[in-house]
Amino acid sequence: MKFYSLNHQAPNVSFQEAVVNGIAPDRGLYFPESISALPVDFFQNIENYSNNEIAYELIKQFVGDKIPEKELKEIIEDTLSFDFPLVEVEKDIFSLELFHGPTMAFKDVGARFMARCLSYFNKNKTTELTVLVATSGDTGGAVASGFLGVKGVQVVILYPSGKVSKVQEKQLTTLGQNIKALEVTGTFDDCQDMVKTAFLDHEITDKMQLTSANSINVARWLPQMFYFAFAYKQLKNNSKEVVFSIPSGNFGNICAGMMAQQLGLPIYHFIAATNVNRVVPNFMQTGNYIPLKSIQTISNAMDVGNPSNFIRIQNIFNNDFEKIKEHLSSYSFTDEETKETILSIFKNSNYITDPHGAVGYLGLKKYLKNDSDKQGVFFETAHPVKFLDVIEPVIDKKIDFPEQIKQVINKKKEASLIDSYKQLKEFLLK
């Protein structure tokens, strides 16, 4: 299996090269050359497979022969060492809880899978690899935890000062070892721009090997297919078609769901639920994709003004707007609506959602208003404790710290403050 660049100006590469490069030399995102659907009876009998077996079946064609079967199965087992519960919040509305991993956000799976692949590829190498990543909140922590102590890999994380939650900041600034945090005076888009510039800067790339760990990296992106299959497995016997609502920022998660659908997973419809950063909802109304400056919200992991993975979605559907509309709806919600929803779900169902999950729930409800014979899943992408400052005043209740959070919350933050690309460059080259 080879991957090509969506800018079509770079050589096709193996899974290994796609993971190590992160992004193609022509700045395009990598995309698999072919997608072969799995046998129909695999999905018909999916309840007979364990999560690890399902994950292996979904990902094996993309990894190809770059990781042998035995090692790939070990990587999967190690990656998926926690639960993915599906909770019925109200009739036919389910929360898929993706926050039971070490940093309590769904990005743990992609980050752990990618770290283990890189560690496998790096086994016999003497050269160091630097993972350079921009975070709007959760990526940083997941990448820090996933890569902690991985030999031959240095991790540099850029995050926007004052724009991530306290728990998120602790998770990415307190681990030490091979993990370094840079606090940027600016927005997430500024962080992402600096990272992109560094990848293009030969004075840096001649001296060190850089890779990304954002969802542009295929090893972070593709494992997110698993969630959709894990949920489907549990809902299949209800005999209603399944709609997924994904709180979306960079659109990696939802795009992975569309890949799972290409593999044959029966998904009736996708909803991309966003906060007021509404580039995609606008696109779905007008057919024009116009990047906007990102706006700060309480669901900060989705404060993205130019979602990097949307181009992959367009590619899956051959840039056919009508076809995209057939499979995807997208709605935008304000912070006010999000808070009201956190409170109403808590009051009506005694269930606490985080701001991202609440946006997902809102998207699902809006869609199901017109199509009520379906069952719906919204992704609960982070544990509410990661957004304490928002949630506690809304529901007027204290949230207990889970074990994963207790371990970092009192540790000392270590980060270097930077405010320009020049400073990032000096940091990398020193």
Ligand X SMILES: *Cc1c(COP(=O)(O)O)cnc(C)c1O
Q: Considering only residues 185-244, where is the footprint of ligand X by CB under 6 A?
A: 215
Question: Based on CB atoms, which residue is closest to ligand X, 43 or 226?
Answer: 226
Total number of residues that touch ligand X (CB under 6 A): 17
**Token duo for residue 269:** 């419809």
CA distance 164 to 269: 31
Stretch that binds ligand X, among 192-200, 251-259, 283-291, 416-424 (CB under 6 A): 251-259
Q: Which two tokens stand for residue 231?
A: 């949920």
Q: Out of 245, 248, 294, 338, point to the residue binding ligand X (CB under 6 A).
A: 248
- Pick 94 or 121: Cβ nearer ligand X: 94
CB of 275 to ligand X, least distance (A): 10
Q: Is residue 405 part of the contact set for ligand X (CB under 6 A)?
A: no
The yes or no reply on residue 274 touching ligand X (CB under 6 A) is: no
Applying CB under 6 A, does 20 fall inside the site for ligand X? no
Site string for ligand X, 296-315 (x = CB under 6 A): -----xx-------------
Q: What is the spatial distance between Cα 332 and Cα 405, in angstroms, rounded to a whole number?
A: 30
Residue 304 Cβ vs ligand X, minimum distance, rounded to whole Å: 7
Question: What does residue 230 show for φ and ψ, rounded to 5 degrees?
Answer: -65, -40
Residue 76 carries which DSSP code? H
Q: Cβ neighbours of residue 248 under 8 Å, at least 6 residues apart?
A: 254, 272, 273, 274, 280, 302, 307, 330
Among positions 363-382, residues that touch ligand X (CB under 6 A) are 381-382
With CB under 6 A as the contact rule, the residue among 247, 257, 363, 384 that binds ligand X is 247
Q: Which of 408, 418, 416 is nearest to 148 (CA)?
A: 408
C-beta nearest to ligand X: residue? 138
95 touching ligand X, by CB under 6 A: no
Amino acid at 214: N
Rank residues 173 and 248 by Cβ distance to ligand X and give the closer one: 248
335-349 vs 388-395: helix crossing angle, rounded to 10: 60
- Asked if 135 touches ligand X (CB under 6 A), the answer is no
Q: How far is the CB of 384 from ligand X (least distance, A)?
A: 10
Applying CB under 6 A, does 105 fall inside the site for ligand X?
yes
- Smallest distance, Å, CB 283 to ligand X? 15
In the DSSP assignment, the letter for residue 81 is -
- Compute the least distance from the CB of residue 423 to ligand X, in Å: 26
Sheet strands (E) in 213-347 = 242-247, 269-274, 328-332
x-marked contacts with ligand X along 380-399 as a string, rule CB under 6 A: -xx-----------------
Name the nearest CA neighbour of 131 among 79, 178, 197.
Answer: 178
253 interacts with ligand X by CB under 6 A: yes
Strands 153-160 and 179-184: parallel
Nearer to ligand X, 223 or 252 (CB): 252
| HSE-CB for 428 with a 13 A CA cutoff | 32
Out of 159, 251, 361, 367, the residue judged to bind ligand X by CB under 6 A:
251
∠ Cα 215 217 218 (to 5°):
100
DSSP assignment of 195-228: HHHHHH-HHHHTTSEEEE-STTSHHHHGGGHHHH
Nearest CB to ligand X, comparing residues 154 and 248: 248
* Residue placing its CB nearer to ligand X in the complex, 223 or 247: 247
Distance between CA atoms of residues 364 and 374, nearest Å = 11
Please report how close the Cβ of residue 243 comes to ligand X at its closest, in angstroms. Answer: 17
Specify the amino acid at residue 122: N
**Min CB(223)–ligand X separation in Å:** 12
Q: 217 φ, ψ to 5°?
A: -75, 125
So which residues are the catalytic ones? 107
**Whose Cβ is closer to ligand X: residue 279's or residue 301's?**
301
φ/ψ (deg, to 5) at 381: -85, -15
- Considering beta carbons, is residue 174 or 248 the nearer one to ligand X? 248
∠ at Cα 255 (251, 258), nearest 5°?
Answer: 155
Site for ligand X in 345-364 (CB under 6 A): 356
Q: How far is the CB of 307 from ligand X (least distance, A)?
A: 7
Q: Token digits for 309?
A: 């993975």
Greatest Cα-to-Cα distance within the chain, rounded to the nearest angstrom: 60
Interacting residues toward ligand X by CB under 6 A: 105, 107, 137-138, 215, 247-253, 301-302, 356, 381-382
